[in-house]
């Protein structure tokens, strides 16, 4: 008797599960049709897109420092696809040419971002896909120590342009709405040099992971928060901030 009750109960449970599955299938298909594609390394562009929806800014301008790839692993391509335009800064000539070819609506600057008035600097081309290329000699030395001197493919002289000069030349007063930086070890220096009294991005995303140790860099987080920004997204590599003043205006 107990075995029969168990069998009947199991059959009833299976039938109920199948009925629920049939009922939820249209809902699942609807969600699949509404799913969004992320082009960024770890989905950061979806966070950024959401923040601009909150700020009611459908076409934010941007500067992408260390743009690297035109589409995949790029923080600004999703915005570009939706009609936004901006400035891509990429010192590697190979990737700069790809950016010009595949992002014709954007301006591309083949240079490094400087934090002083220094005119040029050594740019270390690292073997591989290019994501570890750097102006930071200390970081290049760490890579060479870990992988051998052959890891540094070549060193080229690259012109430098001051971050505030670039923003003043290419954007209206207040600067771009979105500020993205990924420059392998120099993000802190760029943010320290940024004149927040002249240029106030609504959203900032920056690499906050130390490449050689994978630890977070609290100095960057504290620096940006001190300018009245708050953290609204974090991945293993990057941290996303929103301007509290812009957010309050929407409140």
CA distance 210 to 19: 51
Element (H, E) at 44: helix 44-54
151 by Cβ neighbours in 10 Å (0-12 / 13-18 / 19+) ranks as middle
pLDDT of 74 > 90? The answer is: yes
pLDDT digits (tens, 9 = 90+) for 107-151: 999 999 987 778 888 888 888 767 778 877 888 888 888 888 788
Q: CATH number of 44-250: 3.40.50.920, 3.30.230.10, 3.30.565.10, 3.40.50.150? A: 3.40.50.150
* pLDDT at 58 exceeding the cut of 70: yes
* pTM attached to this predicted model: 0.82
User: What is the number of residues in the chain?
Assistant: 251
Q: How far apart are CA 133 and CA 151, in angstroms?
A: 11
Report how far residue 123's alpha carbon sits from residue 4's, in angstroms, rounded to the nearest whole number: 76
Tokens describing residue 249:
């205006």
Please report the pLDDT score of residue 149 as a whole number: 79
131 vs 226, more confident: 226
Q: How confident is the model at residue 183 (pLDDT cuts 50, 70, 90)?
A: confident
């Amino acid at each position: 008797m107990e075995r029969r009750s168990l069998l009947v109960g199991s059959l009833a449970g299976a039938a109920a599960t199948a009925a629920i599955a049939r009922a939820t299938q249209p809902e699942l298909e609807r969600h699949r049709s509404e799913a969004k594609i992320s082009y960024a390394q770890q989905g950061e562009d979806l966070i950024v897109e959401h923040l601009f929806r909150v700020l009611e800014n459908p076409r934010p301008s941007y500067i992408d420092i260390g743009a690297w790839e035109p589409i995949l692993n790029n923080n600004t391509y999703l915005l570009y696809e939706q009609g936004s335009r901006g400035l891509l800064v990429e010192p590697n000539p190979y990737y700069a040419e790809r950016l010009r070819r595949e992002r014709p609506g954007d301006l591309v600057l083949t240079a490094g971002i400087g934090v002083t008035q220094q005119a040029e600097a050594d740019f270390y081309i690292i073997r591989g896909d290019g994501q570890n290329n750097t102006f930071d000699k200390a970081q290049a030395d760490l890579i060479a120590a870990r992988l051998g001197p052959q890891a540094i493919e070549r060193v080229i002289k690259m012109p430098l342009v001051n971050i505030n000069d670039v923003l003043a030349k290419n954007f209206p007063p207040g600067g771009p709405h979105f500020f993205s930086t990924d420059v392998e070890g120099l993000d802190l220096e760029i943010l320290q040099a940024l004149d927040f009294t002249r240029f106030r991005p609504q959203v900032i995303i920056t690499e906050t992971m130390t490449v050689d140790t994978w630890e977070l860099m609290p100095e960057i987080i504290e620096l940006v928060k001190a300018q009245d920004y708050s953290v609204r997204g974090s991945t293993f590599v990057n941290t996303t901030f929103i301007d509290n003043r812009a957010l309050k205006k929407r409140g």
